[in-house]
Structure formats: structure tokens, C-alpha cells
Amino acid sequence: MTVVLTGATGFLGSRLLRALLAGGRSVAALGRDRAGQPLAARLEAALRACGAADAELAAARERLTAVPAELTEPGLGLKPAVHDRLAGEAEAIWHCAAALSLIDTEESLAPVNVTGTRHLAELADHSPAGVPLVYVSTAYVATGPDTASANGQPVASALEAVTGYERTKRRAETLVRDWAATRQRPALILRPSLLATDRPLPAGAPQQPLSTLTSGLAELIGQAPPLLRHGILHRRRGLPRIRVRLQGDPAAHMNIVPVEYAVDAALRLAALHHPPGVATYHLVHPVETPAPLLVAAAGALVPGVELVLQPVVDRPNLLEQQINPMLANFLGRDWRSRADDHTPLHDVLPGLPGPAPVDLAYLRAAMNVRLPESV
């Protein structure tokens, strides 16, 4: 029997793939061939990027099958015989693949996030009875009450203010629920929050959401004239730091969860017995991270800059004009887990070790930023 997995070259999916293989499971990974890099090579690169060494990769090749596929096409773009064989051999179907963007529209993301989910459910239709469909969603499809920000303005709930990405994930969840109800089959919906790791990520590896902040800074620093760039990267004694105001709510929080904890929890949850129907679990950190702590961690990486988070940036300077639009969908909202009305993971999985604390040191490591040279 084989675990069918989509999204295995992504930040979360590659770590799920590695853990499944380490547990002795056979995996059929669905994904795209790319020009000059077939899927098999992409999978190996993804495993290597999350720490697999040569011996582990050699063992993985014995149990890993690359299945070139297209989520948006009927039958996943597979020949009918291949499609049916894949379904018939499945012991579980994990759907991790997604088009992830905080700025793209619902219409542009729906073919992958909604239609692709429908096609995975159709694959599950042909799998043996009892084979679960495990769908990786996001914590931010859950609704939450309005809260007051530091300046007295309400922060809208997830129900009222969602990105196109979140709307497509909500629609995909509905598909999974309808499939489980009509087919009387088990399904799991896993809702991770902002995934992170404090382990090094090599160049070219799938990046984590926290990279949104530091990659924007690195891009602007790289474009600055040499003298200004040197002043940003090196604090000169006796000279004030360059002040950059980031527009966002200083009272906001983010739920940042180590990806290693999320993978461990996901595999333990999938191993539980699930009757027909849907079980929904939040893979979130029990402690929310204040947004100013995240900004402080980013600021510590650029000694010559003082980053300040504030609700309004009036008369922005050139750096502020460039960076704030990049971060509008990241710092411009509250990213709490919205899991208050759901059973905590430690109640469902008593033996699950707790996640690492997300403190200043963790955040600095998680940003994994590669700043340009000063000269």
C-alpha cells in the first residue's frame, strides 16, 4: 500500500514526505515536471533541502515514486489506468499542494486550490473503503470575533476580511466535507497557522511565511546605493540608525508554529481511528507571538536600521514607500490562530511533545535572511 501525497516539494509537504519515508511508508508523490528538472529530481532536492543526507536519499529512492500530474486537469492529467491503479493502491491520500499568495485573486487561485481539491476527492472515490482523505487547509479560514486594535479601530474577523487564498481554502474545505458526507468516508482537515523553522534553509529551498518580511528588506537593501547599503548593514558609532516605519497594528499577534511540531502532530492525527465524516484539527502554537516581537527580530538583522511598527505612516520616506506595499497583507492584519473554540492538540494527542517557544532567538533564526554585501 502507498501514501498518495501532493505538494511534496513545498515547505510543509517536503517535511511530511521525509517523515513518511522515515516511518517506512511507501509514497507516491504527485507534482509537475519542470523544464530541465523532472519531478523526481525536484523531490530529491526538496528532501535534501530539509536535511536528508546521501544515505537517507538512497533509502528514499526505494520507496518513493514520482508521479507527474496536473491538479487542474480532469483525472489529474493521468492516464485512466494509472489513475485507477494509484487510487487502488492508496492507504491514505494527503493533499498538501496549494497556490499560496496573499495578493492574488480568488479567481486566479481557484483552479489549483478548489478544482485541484475536487480532483483529489475524485481520486479518493476510487480508493478502498476506509482510506482517509487528509486535506491541509489553513487556520485562517476559521472565524473569530472582532477585536480592538491599539488605536481603537476594530480588527475584522476572518469571516469579514479574508484574502483570495483564504476564500479558496474555505471553498476547498466545503468540498472535502461534502465528499465525506455523501460518500460516507473519513476525511481530516488540518489547519496549520504560520509555519516556521529555525533550521537553516539552503538557497533555492521552499521558503516559510516569515520570509515575507525579511525578503522585502533584503530586496530593498540590495537596490540601495553602496554607501546607503553600508549604513543599513553596519551601525556606525555616534551616528543614528536609519528609521523605517512599518505600517501595521502594534497590538496585533501572529500564531507562528514550528513546522516540525506540525508534521509530528499531523502524522499522529492521521494514525488515529476516524469514522466516516470530517474531523478538523488546528495545528497551532499555544502561545501567540506579538507582531512587535517579529519586527524586533527583523530589525536585529540590520544593525543600521531602526524598524518601528505603527498604525499610520504619514509622509513616508523612499524606503517606507517601497516596503510598506510589500508587507500590507502581512503586517496589515491580525494573524491569531482563531482556534479558541477547537479542542487543543494536547487533549487529542496526550503524548505529543510541545512546540519550541517562538522567542526572539527563534524568530531571528527562522527568518533565514541572506542580506546583500555592503559594498
User: What is the structure's pLDDT at 150?
Assistant: 40
Longest dimension (CA), the chain: 72
* Structural contact between residues 76 and 123, judged by C-beta atoms closer than 8 angstroms: yes
The three three-digit cell numbers of residue 320, written as one number? 517606507
Of 375, 368, 109, 42, the closest CA to residue 228 belongs to: 375
Positions of E strands within 38-130: 64-68, 90-95
Positions of E strands within the chain: 2-6, 27-31, 64-68, 90-95, 133-136, 147-148, 154-155, 186-192, 194-196, 242-247, 253-254, 256-258, 277-283, 289-290, 305-310
User: What is the structure's pLDDT at 274?
Assistant: 92
Question: Helix, strand, or coil here: 13?
Answer: helix
d(CA 189, CA 173) in angstroms, rounded, equals 7
Give every CB contact of residue 189 below 8 A, 6+ residues apart in sequence. Answer: 135, 137, 173, 176, 177, 278, 279, 280, 281
| pTM for the model | 0.90
Helix and strand element counts for the chain (H, E): 14, 15
Q: Which residues pair with 338 in a beta bridge?
A: none
Ranges of residues in the chain whose predicted pLDDT is under 50 = 145-161, 374-375
State the angle between helix axes of 211-223 and 318-331 in degrees (0 to 180), rounded to the nearest 10: 170
d(CA 57, CA 40) in angstroms, rounded, equals 12
Question: Helix, strand, or coil here: 66?
Answer: strand
Q: How far is CA 46 from the centre of its chain?
A: 15
How many residues appear in the chain? Answer: 375
Pure H helices in 187-315:
211-223, 226-233, 259-271, 291-300
Q: Which residues pair with 239 in a beta bridge?
A: none
User: What is the structure's pLDDT at 92?
Assistant: 97
Of 6, 42, 32, 7, the closest CA to residue 123 belongs to: 6
Give every CB contact of residue 252 below 8 A, 6+ residues apart in sequence. Answer: 149, 155, 290, 291, 331, 333, 334, 335
Phi and psi based region of residue 24 (left: phi greater than 0; alpha: psi -120 to 50; beta: remaining): left
User: What is the structure's pLDDT at 159?
Assistant: 41
Q: What are phi and psi of 131, to 5 degrees?
A: -70, 120
User: What is the structure's pLDDT at 118?
Assistant: 98
Domains of the chain: 2-197+254-283 (3.40.50.720), 211-252+289-334+357-367 (no CATH)
Of 96, 107, 71, 130, the closest CA to residue 12 belongs to: 96
User: What is the structure's pLDDT at 305?
Assistant: 82
d(CA 107, CA 208) in angstroms, rounded, equals 24
Q: How many CB atoms lie within 10 A of CB 122?
A: 15
User: What is the structure's pLDDT at 157?
Assistant: 41
User: What is the structure's pLDDT at 374?
Assistant: 44
* Structural contact between residues 149 and 239, judged by C-beta atoms closer than 8 angstroms: no
Positions of E strands within 119-215: 133-136, 147-148, 154-155, 186-192, 194-196
User: What is the structure's pLDDT at 153?
Assistant: 42
* Structural contact between residues 253 and 317, judged by C-beta atoms closer than 8 angstroms: no
User: What is the structure's pLDDT at 102?
Assistant: 79
